[in-house]
């Protein structure tokens, strides 16, 4: 029992450790935030943490294995034209992603990489920052009449 | 426990009502085995076979009943865990399957022998549509009363499109 | 109030005393509860149905989401079931890593439960205290698997991540931390007068009732029924731990009567047991592969050609998890049946809740460590209030339409 009282007293004098949400906005505007209080840096993550995915459009071959194993159907294949060749590329909707790393493990060309980046909170889940590969899609997507703009949909 | 003895006891008491049995033993070394025993029993003697199993040891029902659908019948599967002795790793899975014709989807309750099976029987009734006779509590378990009669969620056909 | 008048008392579906939606209808006589009825089904997610349309690898991650706290146990039982059908032999190192992660999960789940139980009887200081010390094991799991919960650690035929030397050091540190804390924490939990006054003799489940109603896990062991899948049935590395036996309140010199205190004692003792098991596994961790080496696509293709049935059983922190899978030459299992511990234990609420006082309802309900989301893992889809039925195809088409619309809107 005494041990717990000791802990309670210790907690009373501990530093506050909360920040404003979403924290990514704080980093842009440090001066104003500091007027309201202090910034507590986030608790670091260890190596091996599953965070934001990164996609390399150049090395991707469009095989579609990642979208096959993705448990959340967060990976969408779309027809693309790169170097005048018809092929396929992917976009990853991070709002649906479960961060299981299956796509990273299965990719034969290591085109998808996992990072330890975890500042992803946003008010809009289809924001450009939460759809990996969106800028490539705008550039390469094959826009043909009658072709479905969405190839794979979630169940 | 020897699986043969279970089958023999059941066969002695019920005779030809035991339609088939097979066993699967996985050896883990040091005399430790994982034993699974499948027994097919016809509907008439299903209830008495559970009563016989109950006398052999601690009978525990492990999962709600899965089923296999054929053209004219449904095979309902009751997975039990049976433990006879208090020694370690002596629990074996006894999986009883019963064929029920589709035009007469009825089976007798086992809640008088294994009262813990009540939730599972209620789920079977609402999800698969097999009527459990003499069940003490025939209400639906998961779906509310808004579900129309004759709709059994787990028996809805798969959509072709989603198979891609 | 006259004693011969009973009146009904509805608690739930949404009530602050319960952490998840579940509805109880009690019959009350004065201050006493004389009857209880339980209504499930407010958090249905159709997981068994969804599993019928996913491939074998996707299902692992789907089943992790049956329950947030037992997020290792459900895929574990599923992997055991699939390995049983396919006859895949799991390498020894993988079996030990599975055991270690499973026991770390048990550690954090029991700490979580003690916090919840303390909260239910109004002892919020203890709640904060146990949840604070629980952080350490969650951080350890994060380093080991990549996530705090929903570890994504398992695959069919092994595990996905190895325990490196750095990880091993972290595990040792965490174990030391808990060993040091154990005496102090167990003293608060088992000897504190407030806790004893609120838990002793409350919510009794006798051994006969526990056996009849097929109770599992700490609920059964608290009543003195020695039921533990780790000891009854060979799984993972548990059969190589020769000293392992089910815990019971007898270990602290108390004959079990099946009240809330006994169930709490079992969980507290299991924290100690989990520490010992992890220590054993770390000392005896064999070298070698951590999975069968075949990738996800290869595994799906191999399982596609299989036919058969398999059972997977695993002792989750709350009790027995059992999965039954039926394969039939398809990319998806034909049937998968999930049984969560609360499904078995839910029925034991009826005798426990009889003859207690109204104020004791929350702690008795919490004493089986209920996880309603586990029990409610399937549903039927319904239209909004108008009571019209939508078919699966229609609903699917509608959702896709909605999803497309939203996506287009933001793509521009």
| Alpha-carbon distance B137 to nearest alpha carbon in chain C (angstroms) | 11
Residues C38, C11: Cα–Cα separation, whole Å? 10
Q: C320 preceded by cis ω (within 30°)? A: no
Q: Would you tell me which residues 119-148 of chain A have a C-beta closer than 8 angstroms to some C-beta of chain C?
A: 124, 126-127, 134
Q: Which residues share a beta bridge with B36?
A: B24, B93
Provide the token pair at C150: 């929903």
Who's near C3: CB < 8 A, 6+ residues apart? C29, C30
Q: Give residue limits of the domains in chain C.
A: 47-375
Other beta carbons within 10 angstroms of residue C42's beta carbon come to 18
Provide the token pair at C327: 């394969």
pLDDT (0 to 100) of residue C411: 52
The nearest alpha carbon in chain A to C189 belongs to A1
Residues C85, A17: Cα–Cα separation, whole Å? 50
pLDDT (0 to 100) of residue A154: 44
Rounded to an integer, the average pLDDT of C359-372 is 86
Residues C398, C393: Cα–Cα separation, whole Å? 8
Q: Which residues from chain C sit within 8 angstroms of residue B64, using beta carbons?
A: 337, 339, 343
Mode of pairing for the β-strands spanning B131-133 and B106-108: parallel
Cross-chain residue pair C50–A155, CB shorter than 8 Å: yes
3-state secondary structure of A63: coil
Q: C102 preceded by cis ω (within 30°)? A: no
pLDDT (0 to 100) of residue A29: 56
Q: Which residues from chain B sit within 8 angstroms of residue C40, using beta carbons?
A: 141-142
Provide the token pair at C324: 């039954």
The nearest alpha carbon in chain C to A151 belongs to C404
Q: Is A96 on the interface with C (CB under 8 A)?
A: no
pLDDT of B127 strictly over 70: yes
Cross-chain residue pair B34–C233, CB shorter than 8 Å: yes
Cross-chain residue pair C146–A106, CB shorter than 8 Å: no
3-state secondary structure of C314: strand
Residue pair C324/B77 in contact by the 8 Å Cβ criterion = yes
**Higher-pLDDT residue of B162, C209:** C209
Residue pair C294/C302 in contact by the 8 Å Cβ criterion = yes
Residue pair C268/C220 in contact by the 8 Å Cβ criterion = no
Strands (E) located in C133-179 = 154-155, 158-159
Other beta carbons within 10 angstroms of residue C94's beta carbon come to 25
Q: pLDDT band at C386, cuts 50/70/90?
A: very low
Q: What is the ipTM of this complex?
A: 0.91
Q: Which residues from chain C sit within 8 angstroms of residue B61, using beta carbons?
A: 214
Residues C302, C233: Cα–Cα separation, whole Å? 27
**Higher-pLDDT residue of C118, B139:** C118
Provide the token pair at C179: 């060993």
Q: Would you tell me which residues 229-258 of chain C have a C-beta closer than 8 angstroms to some C-beta of chain B?
A: 229, 231-234, 239
Pick from C216, C232, C309: which is nearest to B91 by CB?
C232
Which chains would you list as touching C if contact means 3+ CB atom pairs under 8 Å? A, B
Rounded to an integer, the average pLDDT of C335-357 is 88
Q: pLDDT band at C315, cuts 50/70/90?
A: very high
Q: Give residue limits of the domains in chain A.
A: 2-36, 53-140
Cross-chain residue pair C411–A126, CB shorter than 8 Å: yes
Residue pair A153/C403 in contact by the 8 Å Cβ criterion = yes
pLDDT (0 to 100) of residue C366: 87
Name the residue among C158, C115, C106 with its Cα closest to residue C316: C106
The nearest alpha carbon in chain C to B85 belongs to C232
3-state secondary structure of C391: coil
- Alpha carbon B6 to its chain centroid, in Å, reads 16
| Alpha-carbon distance C122 to nearest alpha carbon in chain B (angstroms) | 31
Q: pLDDT band at C372, cuts 50/70/90?
A: confident
pLDDT tens string, chain A, 155 residues long: the values are 677 788 888 878 876 666 666 555 555 555 665 666 666 666 778 888 888 899 999 999 989 899 888 988 899 899 988 888 889 999 999 988 988 888 999 999 899 999 888 877 777 888 888 898 888 888 888 876 554 555 444 43
Burial letters for C180-204: b for 16+ Cβ neighbours within 10 Å, e otherwise? eeeebbbebbbebeebeebbeebbb
Helix (H) or strand (E) holding A81: strand A75-82
pLDDT (0 to 100) of residue C69: 85
Residues C191, B40: Cα–Cα separation, whole Å? 52
Q: Which residues share a beta bridge with C37?
A: C25
3-state secondary structure of A143: coil
In what order do the strands lie in the sheet containing C307-316?
Answer: C307-316, C319-328, C335-339
Cα dihedral C24, C25, C26, C27 in deg (nearest 10): -170
Which chains would you list as touching B if contact means 3+ CB atom pairs under 8 Å? C
DSSP letters along B33-70, please? EEEEEEEEE-HHHHHHHHHHHHHHSEEEE-SPPPEEE-
Helix (H) or strand (E) holding B79: strand B73-83
CATH of domain C47-375: 1.10.645.10
Cross-chain residue pair B88–C231, CB shorter than 8 Å: yes
Q: Is A46 on the interface with C (CB under 8 A)?
A: yes
| Alpha-carbon distance C339 to nearest alpha carbon in chain B (angstroms) | 5
Residue pair C373/C20 in contact by the 8 Å Cβ criterion = yes
The nearest alpha carbon in chain A to C61 belongs to A71
Q: Which residues from chain C sit within 8 angstroms of residue A126, using beta carbons?
A: 406-407, 409-411
Substitution target from C22, C42, C380, C401 for chain B, most B beta carbons within 10 A: C380
Residue pair B67/C217 in contact by the 8 Å Cβ criterion = no
Q: Is C146 on the interface with A (CB under 8 A)?
A: yes
pLDDT of C46 strictly over 90: no
Q: Which residue matches tokens 């329950």?
A: C67
Substitution target from A12, A66, A71, A114 for chain C, most C beta carbons within 10 A: A71
Q: pLDDT band at C162, cuts 50/70/90?
A: very high
pLDDT of C401 strictly over 80: no
Q: Determine the structural domain holding residue B76 and report its residue range.
A: 3-102
Q: Would you tell me which residues 320-359 of chain C have a C-beta closer than 8 angstroms to some C-beta of chain B?
A: 320, 322-324, 326, 334-339, 343-344, 346-347
Q: Which residues share a beta bridge with C310?
A: C325
pLDDT of C194 strictly over 60: yes
How many domains are contained in chain B? 1
**Topology of the domain comprising A53-140:** Alpha-Beta Plaits (3.30.70)
Residue pair C139/C61 in contact by the 8 Å Cβ criterion = no
């Amino acid at each position: 029992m005494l041990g717990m009282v000791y802990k309670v007293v210790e907690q009373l004098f501990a530093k506050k450790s909360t920040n404003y949400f979403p924290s990514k906005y704080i980093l842009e505007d440090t001066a104003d935030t500091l007027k309201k209080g202090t910034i507590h840096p986030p608790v670091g993550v260890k190596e091996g943490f599953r965070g934001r995915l990164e996609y390399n459009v150049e090395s991707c071959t469009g095989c579609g294995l990642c979208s096959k194993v993705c448990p959340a159907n967060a990976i969408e294949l779309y027809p693309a034209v790169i170097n005048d060749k018809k092929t396929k590329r992917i976009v990853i909707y991070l709002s649906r992603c479960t961060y299981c790393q299956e796509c990273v493990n299965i990719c034969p060309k290591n085109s998808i990489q996992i990072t330890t980046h975890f500042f992803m909170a946003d008010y809009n889940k289809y924001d450009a920052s939460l759809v990996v590969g969106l800028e490539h899609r705008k550039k390469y997507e094959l826009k043909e009449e009658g072709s479905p703009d969405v190839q794979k949909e979630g169940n | 426990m020897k699986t043969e003895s279970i089958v023999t006891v059941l066969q002695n008491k019920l005779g030809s009502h035991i339609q088939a049995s097979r066993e699967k033993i996985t050896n883990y070394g040091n005399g430790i085995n994982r034993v699974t025993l499948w027994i097919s029993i016809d509907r008439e003697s299903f209830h008495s076979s559970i009563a016989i199993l109950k006398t052999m040891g601690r009978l525990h029902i492990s999962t709600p009943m899965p089923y296999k659908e054929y053209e004219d019948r449904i095979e309902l599967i009751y997975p039990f865990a049976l433990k006879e002795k208090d020694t370690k790793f002596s629990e074996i899975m006894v999986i009883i399957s019963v064929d029920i014709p589709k035009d007469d989807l009825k089976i007798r309750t086992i809640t008088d022998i294994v009262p813990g099976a009540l939730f599972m029987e209620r789920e079977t009734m609402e999800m698969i549509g097999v009527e459990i006779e003499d069940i003490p509590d025939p209400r639906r378990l998961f779906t509310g009363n808004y579900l129309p009669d004759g709709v059994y969620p787990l028996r809805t056909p798969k959509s072709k499109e989603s198979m891609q | 109030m006259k004693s011969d008048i009973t009146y009904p008392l509805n608690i739930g579906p949404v009530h602050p005393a319960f952490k998840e939606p579940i509805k109880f209808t009690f019959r009350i006589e004065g201050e006493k509860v004389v009857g209880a009825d339980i209504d499930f089904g407010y958090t249905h997610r159709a997981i068994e149905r969804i599993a019928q349309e996913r491939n074998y690898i996707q299902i692992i991650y789907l089943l992790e989401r049956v329950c947030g706290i037992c997020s290792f146990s459900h895929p574990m039982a599923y992997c055991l079931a699939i390995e049983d059908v396919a006859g895949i032999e799991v390498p020894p190192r993988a079996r030990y890593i599975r055991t270690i992660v499973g026991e770390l999960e048990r550690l954090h789940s029991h700490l979580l439960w003690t916090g919840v139980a303390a909260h239910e009887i109004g002892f919020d200081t203890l709640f904060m205290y146990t949840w604070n010390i629980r952080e350490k094991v969650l951080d350890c799991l994060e380093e080991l698997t990549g996530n705090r919960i929903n570890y994504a650690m398992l695959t069919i035929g092994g595990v996905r991540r190895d325990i490196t030397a750095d990880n091993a050091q972290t595990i040792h540190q965490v174990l030391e931390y808990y060993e040091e804390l154990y005496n102090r924490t167990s003293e608060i939990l088992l000897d504190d007068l407030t806790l004893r006054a609120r838990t002793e003799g409350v919510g009794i489940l006798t051994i006969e009732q526990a056996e009849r109603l097929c109770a599992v896990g700490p609920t059964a062991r608290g009543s003195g029924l020695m039921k533990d899948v780790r000891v009854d049935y060979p799984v993972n590395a548990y059969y190589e731990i020769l000293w392992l036996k089910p815990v019971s309140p007898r270990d602290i010199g108390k004959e079990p009567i099946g009240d809330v205190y006994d169930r709490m004692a079992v969980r507290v003792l299991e924290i100690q047991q989990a520490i010992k098991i992890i220590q054993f596994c770390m000392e005896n961790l064999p070298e070698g592969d951590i999975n069968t080496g075949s990738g996800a696509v290869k595994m799906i293709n191999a399982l596609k050609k299989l036919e058969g049935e398999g059972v997977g059983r695993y002792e989750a922190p709350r009790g027995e998890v059992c999965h039954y899978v039926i394969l039939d030459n398809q990319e998806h299992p034909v049937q998968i049946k999930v049984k969560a511990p609360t499904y078995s234990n839910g029925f034991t609420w009826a005798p426990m809740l009889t003859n207690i006082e109204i104020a004791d309802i929350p702690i008795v309900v919490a004493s089986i460590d209920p996880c309603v989301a586990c029990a409610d893992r399937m549903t039927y889809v319904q239209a909004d209030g108008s009571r019209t039925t939508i078919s699966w195809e229609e609903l699917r088409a509608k959702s896709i339409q909605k999803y497309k619309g939203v996506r287009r809107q933001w793509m521009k």
